[in-house]
Structure 1
Amino acid sequence: MHHPDQKYIDALLNNDRILLDELYRKFSGKIKWMVLKNNGTEAEAADIFQDALISIFHKARLHDFVLTCPLDAFLYLICKKKWLNELDKKKFNQVTTWEEDGFPISEDSFKLAEDFTFHEERLNLITEKLEELGTVCRQLLRLSWAGKPMEEVAQITGLTYGYARKKKSECMAQLIHLVKTSSRFNSLK
């Protein structure tokens, strides 16, 4: 069963300006506070918040995402994970405080945020490894993942139907090999 805050996910999908303004007013301050308390700036807090919303939008658009916990707890956990990744990139070792007072963080919130970030990290790895493939492979895979029929994919790429199917299989095998041999693969299984 979805949470009443699902209306904000729907607002993201439908570009509902009124609800989106409410979402920013209601939730961005807590994220700003968390980032500022942990070696960040207001601009970085705004970027993290925006990035989290974009990630949620993409997930909801592609996978019928259903919110089963309060949005503030879910957003906080997503932003916290994204900010920790940023700090890691910057090599900040001191994290001041991760006080989660005022957030109704339940097991559902943790589970949903964990599943969400795990899925996002897997997609990032696949996207990263896709860029290591040749142009034809990238084009073939992206077109077929976009739901294009193989006849159309073959026509767009200028390949015969039979060769496009064969090449797609080879490209998938190559991508799977690159992903599985990545040092990050074991942590994402």
Structure 2
Amino acid sequence: MRDSEIIKRIKQGDEGALDYLYKKNYKMMTRMVLNNNGTEEEAKDVYQESVIIFWQKATKQDFVLTSKISTFIYSICQNLWRKELERKSRLSNEVKDGKEYNTFDKEERELIIHKCINSLGDTCRKVLMYYYFDGMSMSNIAKKLGFANSDTAKTKKYKCKKELDALIKSKYKATDFLD
């Protein structure tokens, strides 16, 4: 069945088209989830939700398909799976069952962070200290350090933060810092 015929049948409410579509793309869509740290059950759930979303979009009067159906559904699957991975990541960072995962107490962690900040270049050290410890705004940091504007200060803060993160990660484990 061609994509145009599937769309036509979906618009007419033919659930046989939905069944055909589901079976035709099942392996490709679930493989994407399985190849990205998902389970068979998660893959089925994501794919089923993607087909439902596609069905809902395709039944709208103004729906225009600008790619192959499989490409459209694949992008829906990818987006849903990314959201699920982000959700799982947030959950894994939470302390569960009251267990303590820290190797260092709060003061030790602050000392480590200060030590790593001090090992950065002068500009990075100042930007991060002004922002995180002194609570200065980006525009004030820009004025104080002679940057063109607050956007330049934001960009510098972002780059310095990445540099700090990399430095800390090279010396310590993430679990050392979980609350």
Q: TM-score range by the shorter chain?
A: 0.3 to 0.5
